Chain A
């Protein structure tokens, strides 16, 4: 069974540029999560979906961040006009009906904003 995949693995931007991260969850997993992990800290939930619906996006830092999951499978997280404070690793995870508490994580995208 393939795990959660993410791309790109690394991104380096200047402040003000936009960036998108892509996630492909485990097949059959209806719930998808995006986390932000600053250096030397634990992951913090940004947003999560059940199928194509946003369940909770209250932790998205600002309106510069947006996330979609149009067909209930893959998902894209976008940052408009990135700032240095957005420097972090962005993790995607998925889970399914039998046990939503157990989440499976992708390798992450390490973002550096200069």
Chain B
């Protein structure tokens, strides 16, 4: 069985501060990992994805994430947050990219950016 844990349900940071949202996964095989963002009353939007190769992947709007196989983690980072980054962030695991790929979501981390 696979699972994703986001240990922080809520995170509050000041505008301009750096950000790290934590994600741990459990999966015996090679994971496909994603971060999605959900703005209020909107659907999920893909921020970035990791399939293989360089463990640091770049996404949209200055976000990046680092994959660590030894720690089973895929933490999301941003150097300087903006008030518009306030949203819910989901770490997501897929067991493959093939035809039976299924996504397992974490419970999400709600980010609030104080101005």
Give B contacts to A, CB under 8 Å.
4, 9, 32, 34, 36, 41-46, 49, 90, 94, 96-103, 105-108
Contacts and interface: CB of A to CB of B under 8 A. Distances in A.
Contacts of B97: 99-102
Report the interface size class on chain A.
20 to 34
Which of A100, A101, A104 gathers most chain B CB within 10 Å?
Answer: A101
A110 B96 CA distance: 30
Given A43-B44, A102-B34, 5 more contacts: A41-B107, A42-B4, A100-B100, A101-B94, A101-B97
Which of B34, B42, B46, B99 gathers most chain A CB within 10 Å?
Answer: B99
Given A100-B99, A101-B97, A103-B103, A41 B108 contact: yes
Contacts of B49: 101-102
Given A101-B96, A102-B49, A43 B43 contact: no
